[in-house]
Structure 1
Amino acid sequence: MRAAPLRPLLYISLAATSWGSAGAAAALLYRTSGLGPVAVSCWRFAIGAVLLLAGRAFLAPAVGNGRARPIALVATGVLMAVFQTGYLAAVAFAGLSVGTAVALGAGPVFTALGARLVFSERVGRRGALIILLALSGLALLAFGADARAGGTEPLWGFLCALASAAGSAAINLLTQAEARRGRAGQPYDRALAGFAVGAVCLLVTATPSGALLPADGDVATSIALLGYLGAIPTALAYALFFSALMAVRATTVSVVMMLEPVAALFLGVTLLGERLTPATAAGSAVLLCAVMLLAKQESLTP
């Protein structure tokens, strides 16, 4: 088997690590700005879309099949809004460590189950056992988290994280369905359109639901955090990610992406002062092991 090139692996590692910092930046924003998850997501999408558009001529890889359908791009944007806002809400309610572990760990499991229902892909006995292992990890996280672990409403945070994972899985299934039709389009443009559509959807939702501009605390710090959130874990990370996808196998990507929850866990404990209970620590470990086993199985599937 040919070894993966070093530069694309570095790109993916940087993208995963920066994605892990997105929840920490959002958690700090909740404390300093008075903004909620919908408003923070709206700014993240808008800034990311502008920067991705500005860098398209230099960063977008010229690959893709067919021309993406407008309805699919709109659906992708709506699902991205659900995915990202659900994740940031999970961080607000359950804490960075638990919210990230559930949202990112449940995504591949939902994708595998959805592929079985939509595309009749076989799960197999081994796959079923891995999914049961992942569900066990999710149960530990759901019933083992408490408010002292970093959030004020762990159950709501768990549910928001599941909604985020469902949105992520739906994006994966929709993209795969479009690719089978030869209408997936260019990945970079798909992300750009998704962020643009998502920003509009979130703007409509955020305007009546609460403050859209930082009002409390240090406004300059809040603006800097919003800029970081839109530039680094959004525009730059997605540009690096799509560039790397051209040279690295999807299974390799899924394993390297485990850096994201590890980074979130580290930042949650060290930067935000979160405390992991034994149950949440065990649940995170079980869930991540299940995802790695799922990735290994995918690498062995012809």
Structure 2
Amino acid sequence: MENNHVHVTAPSSARVGLLSVMAAGLFWGTGGLAGALLAERSGIEALAVAGYRLLIGGGLITAWLVFSGGLRALRTGPAGRRRLLVIGVVAAVFQACYFAAVELISVSLATLVTLGSAPLLVIVGESMIGRRRPAGRMTAAAGVALAGLTLLVGGPGDTSSGSVAAGAALALVSGGGFAVMTMLAARPVAGLPVLPMTGLAFCLGGLVVLPAGIVAGNAAVELQPVNIALLVYLGLVPTALAYTLYFAGLRSVPTGVASLIALLEPLTAAVLGALVLGDRLGPVGISGAVLVGVAVILVSNGESTTSGRTRRRRVAAARRQS
């Protein structure tokens, strides 16, 4: 009976996972502002920002693992090494395609296509893998989120039809990369914990993207205190911390739910843009922000209810056996 009491009072892993994914979305929302300030102050290319983000974020995690002895205890087999390689390459493609899309079209449209397509691709992918239809709540939440994201970030702006097509295609590839990372990270590999996976894979991704940024143009950052602080923040909070929380949350939160909660990123970025940069959302943008918030609450409450029912069924079954 004492054991049953522990099951009732202990916080569920699903609830902790939800909070982890929500925190990741909020932290990601600060990354756009930090990256924009870094690019504006130093004049570096968008690809260089992406490369620094991955390399510094992965490097900070790896340094912590070396300091704490986490790497010495790592015993990963061929499956783990393949996972590191795939996550690293996918992260590089995801970041590179997104920032390349930003160069061709507006940040708003690149964000719309990337983050709008990712939850839909995850839901479709998981439905095909599991050979089941997505739940009605998920479908409704995805529709509400897509509508809200469209209103929140706006339209394509002043760009030619050719650049819009190319930029939208790159953003769609970026959204697919995020969807693949989400589905892969939700499937643990024996001997490869979340922290080493994130750190080592992102180091690899940064080593892939940063040279491309150097080839594309200026990647040199003047070592001023503000620039150093922006680099450290960009690598630490919206990269190392956010992705570690997101990947850890995926161990207990369904991938479709997590990808929809990740839409807290543009919502946070829009709020910060209004507060820090003086951007005006307007009635349409505010309506979009509300819809995105409603979608996040819809899937979060649904997941909490489902996990609560599952936990109560397990406790009742344990009591009947005792």
Alignment of 1:55-134 (within 5 A): 55-56=64-65, 58=68, 67=77, 68-87=79-98, 94-95=106-107, 103-104=114-115, 106-134=117-145
Match of 1:250 in 2: 253
1:19 aligns to 2:22 (yes or no): no
Question: What CA distance in whole angstroms lies between the structure 2 residues aligned with 1:237 and 1:59?
Answer: 22
1:205 aligns to 2:193 (yes or no): no
Residue of structure 1 aligned with 2:290, choices 274, 285, 291: 285
Q: Percent identity?
A: 32
Over aligned residue pairs, what C-alpha RMSD do you find? 4.3
Q: Shift of the alpha carbon at 1:40?
A: 0.6
Match of 1:136 in 2: 147
263-272 or 83-92, which deviates more: 83-92
5+ residue gaps, structure 1, are 148-152
TM-score, normalised via structure 1 length: 0.73
Answer whether contact 1:105 1:291 (CA < 8 A) is retained. no
Distance 1:36 1:275, change over 3 A: farther
Amino acid at match of 2:144: L
TM-score, normalised via structure 2 length: 0.69
Q: Shift of the alpha carbon at 1:29?
A: 1.7
Answer whether contact 2:137 2:299 (CA < 8 A) is retained. no
Residue of structure 2 aligned with 1:193, choices 197, 200, 224: 200
Question: What CA distance in whole angstroms lies between the structure 2 residues aligned with 1:127 and 1:15?
Answer: 20
Answer whether contact 1:175 1:184 (CA < 8 A) is retained. no
Q: Deviations over 1:58-90 (max 9, x none)?
A: 4969x9997443233212112212333455567
Question: What CA distance in whole angstroms lies between the structure 2 residues aligned with 1:112 and 1:192?
Answer: 27
Amino acid at match of 1:69: G
Alignment of 1:139-288 (within 5 A): 139-140=150-151, 144=155, 146=157, 162-176=172-186, 178-179=187-188, 183=190, 185-214=192-221, 220-238=225-243, 245=249, 249-250=252-253, 260-288=265-293
Amino acid at match of 1:213: A
Amino acid at match of 1:168: F
Q: Deviations over 1:30-75 (max 9, x none)?
A: 21111122101111111112211111254969x9997443233212
Amino acid at match of 1:225: L
Q: Shift of the alpha carbon at 1:11?
A: 6.9
Distance 1:142 1:228, change over 3 A: closer
Residue of structure 2 aligned with 1:36, choices 35, 45, 50: 45
5+ residue gaps, structure 2, are 1-7, 311-322
Q: Shift of the alpha carbon at 1:103?
A: 4.5
Question: What CA distance in whole angstroms lies between the structure 2 residues aligned with 1:168 and 1:292?
Answer: 22
Question: What CA distance in whole angstroms lies between the structure 2 residues aligned with 1:186 and 1:227?
Answer: 24
Distance 1:258 1:127, change over 3 A: closer
Structure whose CA Rg is larger: 2
Answer whether contact 1:26 1:88 (CA < 8 A) is retained. no
